Amino acid sequence: MSCIYIFSVLEIISVLTDQNDYTKTRNYWKYLKAKLKKEGNQLVSDTTQLKLLANDGKRYITDMLDFNGIRALGKTFPGTKANRFVEWFTFSDDNSYSSIFNLFTK
């Protein structure tokens, strides 16, 4: 059985920009998304929208990306922090992946 893991774009952008303010993170993604769409970047059309539960108990639509999409998103950011994130995110150690993902698939 194969599983596809998806991640919230806003959560990843929050990490890459070191920003805890939801509004600023959302605005950054809105700007970046428009810029990438204008450039014809495939990343924007690869996003999937899902309703996720927020801290206020309501469900909001948010953009989600799979592993390859998050890797591509990280490469659009300048600086070494994004590079370190991509290296960490793509680190391939079958033992650590299987132990982490087994927690969620049982």
For the stretch 1-42, pLDDT in tens is 567 888 999 999 998 888 889 899 999 999 999 999 999 988
Among candidate residues 11, 13, 4, the one with its CA nearest the CA of residue 36: 13
> ∠ CA(49), CA(19), CA(25), 5° rounding?
35
Q: Which amino acid is at 99?
A: S
Tokens (6 digits) for 12: 């990843």
The pLDDT of residue 59: 94
Domain boundary assignment for the chain: 6-105
What mean pLDDT, rounded, does the chain reach?
Answer: 82
What 3-state DSSP class applies to 70? helix
Q: What is the pLDDT of residue 34?
A: 93
Residue 75: pLDDT band (50, 70, 90) is: confident
pTM value?
A: 0.76
Distance CA 96, CA 77 (A): 27
Q: Is the pLDDT of residue 95 over 60?
A: no
Q: Give the DSSP H or E segment for 28.
A: helix 22-38
